[in-house]
Structure 1
Amino acid sequence: MTWTLPEPMLAAAVNSPDLPRGWAAEPKWDGFRANLSVDSGRVVLRSRRGTDMTLAFPEVVAGAAQLPDGTALDGELVVWEAGRLTFKRLQGRLRLSGTGAGRLAQEWPGHFVAFDLLRLAGTNTMPWPYRRRRAALEQLFTARRLTVPWALCPSTTDPDTVREWLSWTAVGLEGVVFKRLEDPYRPAIRGWLKYKVRESTEAIVGAVTGSPTAPRSLLLGRYDTDGRLQYIGRTVTLSQAVGGTFTDLLNPAGSGHPWTGWTFSAGWGTNETLNVTLVQPELVVEVHIDVARDSAGRWRHPARLHRARPDVSAGDVALLGS
């Protein structure tokens, strides 16, 4: 009987980077979450949402020959460029298969950073506690002498090491994931914790969902070097109380708004569009964002609103790409 890949175990966001007692930490990579299985010689590579990515990454499929049959891994697909993770190159891999995928596998090879072991040579390891799964994963890398495209995700119980990892944002790491040492692997359950490094920055409000007097979210932009206002991302859903503070701050758009006729996605990886109302691109807001970007440099995840900055001019906001 063919083994079916389970849904991945998930993580709940936390605001503290402190390593809890009885937990281990791993770096959080800016890539595609992926589960991989080798079963009776058949390789399956799936995204967190269940998308089959097998044909898009032939180098990972070929590398599965290094694994014992009946083995499944949880990890992150990443691509490196000039010493840092590049989501842009990774994103371009998904739409290709066959010759195109093979060409990009040579030009921008994917690497599978393994951080959990779900099955080993036919044995279901998910009921094992994390510490035992981790030891078995390390032994797998050592015994099989796994090489590219495989990489073993670091793991630590040392708080000082965690703090060091949190300074690695320049190479594309998003933060850290905490895993309880005695917990089994529980598919689709948010039993892990994740802390994302965030930075404060400013952007211009160009549109809203809801109404300008009580927005539900803010669509944000920055000017490019040619003086065009480009969409860069949106905020998380605002509470009614917070939305109400914008009553006298946003003005309806006049003719010639730079986003006239544009459509905006409800989120990365979805075809759903937002119903938006354009506003005069005058108000600046300060937001907290993580390090994840798409191929155009836009923020992949919604920003957290910190405060409106009516005292700052739109011309004072950093240009796109800064």
Structure 2
Amino acid sequence: MKKVGIIGGAGFIGSHVTRIFLEEGFKVRVSTTDLSNESKYQHLKKLPNSLNLEIVQLDVRNQDELQEFLKGCSIVIHGGTPFQLAVKDPQSELFDPTVRGTETFLSMIQNATGIEKVVFIASVAARNTNFPLPAGNKASGETFSESDTPFYGEESHPYAQAKFLAQRAVEKFVENHPDLKFEITTVSPVMVVGKSLSGREDSTSTGIQFLFKNKIAPDAFFQMFYDHDIEFALVDVEDVAEAIFQAATTNRLHGKDYLLSSETFPVSAIHSMLNGQEANSDGKIVYTNSLAKRELGISFKPAKDSLKEYSE
């Protein structure tokens, strides 16, 4: 049995990734930042084939812990950077774990043995820090694809900036190491929606769905979404997990980055669908998904189905 290490494998996206690998017969090692807090990962122990599951504590900035985590893994999924919008200290809460953590991880996998594939779970923000607004060089509704030049805004949210800089570090590493013995592939999902496997309400993704369903604005940042009926590109969490699995188990994808997106809707339509009503507008494809469809074989679920699953 091959072993996969999933950094962040108990989170909103990570839990679905863990489930797929367990179902497909892999041994799975999942990281958690605090092993004493079982509420963060106890739901994973209820998954099929959980006897093949190992949960260990890991700080991605700690080289010794990271070296131990990588031992015996043929596949490594890195999804352990924070998705956090309310921050007091962007440097310590976002930039250090996201950018410096990614750089530490890259330096460690270079010398690890037995690794065949590494998959980074990035974000649409790694390609456009203005998300959900258009990239600075794009008009509203204009499509954005993997071939477009990534956009970095100095006034963008620190979370988006951190994800952008981390992905540039990955790309620079790939460019500077042409003779790696393993492949590196990245997936960049848009706003991820759907049902959590943990049942917890403390993830940012489920929290945003809760706010949109109930039209709650905890701050001026969210109020802006309602005031201007901002459009969001959506993707189902199960589709993201399937794309990660395919990227991890498919050869000759080295250096590629896949946008993962279904339809784009304004917040008013998302609010309606989360409450079991018809959308007040038609969805459209803004962030293209043709590359992921063609090379990863993903059939993206309609956004209304994903929002219905969360609502129920």
Q: TM-score, normalised by structure 2?
A: 0.26
Larger of the two Rg values belongs to structure: 1
Which structure shows the bigger proportion of residues in strand conformation? 1
Q: TM-score, normalised by structure 1?
A: 0.25
Which structure shows the bigger proportion of residues in helix conformation? 2
